[in-house]
């Protein structure tokens, strides 16, 4: 089964990194939908079905918190897991995001293995292999 993924981040570079990690994760990826902020993401969701959403918290126009608030009002996307991929370290704000519907968060920089494991878990996919090891390191 191919999974459709939405990546929301105002940094085009970070969206590119997340796409690369998804592609080497071993998951069968269908469509990858990108958005630069929460409003763009909501607009894109009108035309696309996604299985998981990977979102930053700090973005212009509509940040991750407001995106979570508005996504919660859409019955079609109530069960779609949202993972925050963020530099946010404030535990209170992270708890608020979880209360708004985020299923998990991953702190930047992250290890591809940690990212992969979390995404597989939230999609209900068995983790049957590991990413190849590298002496270069892969912190993103």
Counted residue by residue, the chain has a size of: 140
In Å, what is the CA distance from 73 to each residue of 18, 55, 79, 100, 101? 27, 17, 12, 11, 11
Fold of 3-110: Rossmann fold (3.40.50)
Domain locations in the chain as residue ranges:
3-110
When mean pLDDT is compared across 7-11, 86-90, 134-138, the lowest value belongs to: 134-138
Q: Is the pLDDT of residue 8 over 90?
A: yes
Predicted local distance difference test score (pLDDT) of residue 37: 97
Predicted local distance difference test score (pLDDT) of residue 24: 86
Residue 139 CB neighbour total at 10 angstroms? 8
For residue range 95-128, what is the model confidence (pLDDT) as tens digits?
999 999 999 999 998 898 899 899 999 998 876 5
pTM of the model: 0.87
106, with CB counted inside 10 A (0-12, 13-18, 19+), is middle
* Distance spanning both ends of the chain, measured CA to CA: 27
Q: How confident is the model at residue 88 (pLDDT cuts 50, 70, 90)?
A: confident
Token pair, residue 104, equals 């998990």
């Amino acid at each position: 089964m191919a999974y459709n993924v939405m990546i929301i981040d105002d940094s085009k570079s970070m969206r590119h990194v997340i796409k690369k990690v998804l592609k080497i994760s071993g998951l069968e990826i269908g469509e990858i939908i990108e958005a630069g902020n929460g409003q763009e993401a909501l607009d894109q969701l009108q035309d696309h079905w996604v299985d998981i959403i990977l979102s930053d918290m700090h973005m212009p126009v509509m940040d991750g918190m407001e995106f979570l608030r508005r996504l919660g009002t859409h019955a079609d996307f109530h069960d779609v897991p949202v993972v925050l991929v963020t530099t946010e370290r404030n535990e209170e704000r992270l708890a608020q995001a979880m209360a708004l519907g985020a299923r998990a968060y991953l702190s930047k920089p992250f290890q591809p293995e940690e990212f992969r494991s979390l995404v597989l878990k939230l999609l209900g996919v068995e983790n049957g292999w590991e990413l190849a090891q590298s002496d270069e390191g892969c912190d993103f």
